[in-house]
Amino acid sequence: MSTPQISGIDMVELERALTAGHDHAGNPIEPFVDDAGGWPLRCCLSDSAPGAEIAIIAWSPFPWKGPYAETGPVVVHSAGCPSPAPDELPASFDARPMVLRPYGRNQRIAYHLVRHVDAGSSLTAELASLLDDDDVVFVHGRNVTGGCYAFTAERDSD
């Protein structure tokens, strides 16, 4: 088992959307100042800090179009991300319950492999196990309650 490569949303595509002023659903991007902090950011895979300029946008993290390529809400830095997303899963993700949703070469959810992972149950090990299946191309981490996109995991290219 290799260590899964973790990524957030595509930063080039995010910059394109921010410059255009609308998200993947055509909604205007409406930045706001986060007074309290703690929003889960999908650009740098960290939680927002008080005073950060952020936005809630509709986003599709898929490399294809089709019925399984959903668009849903994510929170991002709206004035540029201060740091890139790490290649490894941030510890804060392992402290949250998650749904791991694998996708196959047929561009569909591999329903028989979907996993609900409790907080502290080693998301990294679960991701590595799913990515060991040759039919799995990538895995999305999703919020348990809302189903919102959290991150993408792929096989290590090394």
Q: What is the pLDDT of residues 61-97, one digit of tens each?
A: 998 999 999 999 999 999 988 887 787 888 888 889 9
| In-domain check, residue 3 | no
Q: Which of 32, 47, 77 is the last residue of a domain?
A: 77
Tokens of 147: 């189903």
Dihedral over alpha carbons 90, 134, 148, 60 (to 10 degrees): 110
Residues 14 and 72 in one domain: yes
Taking only the tens place, the pLDDT of each residue in 6-42 is 999 999 999 999 999 999 999 999 999 999 999 999 9
Separation CA 28–CA 17 (nearest Å): 10
Percent of the chain whose predicted confidence (pLDDT) is above 90:
80
Residues 99 and 47 in one domain: no
pLDDT of 158 higher than 70? no
What number is the average pLDDT over the span 133-149?
94
Which residues in the chain belong to E strands, given as ranges?
5-7, 32-33, 53-59, 72-77, 98-104, 115-117, 136-143, 149-154
pLDDT of 1 higher than 70? no
Percent of the chain whose predicted confidence (pLDDT) is above 70:
97
Tokens of 51: 């005073």
Structural domains in the chain (count) = 2
Q: Which residue has the tokens 């509709």?
A: 58
Q: Is the pTM of this model over 0.75?
A: yes
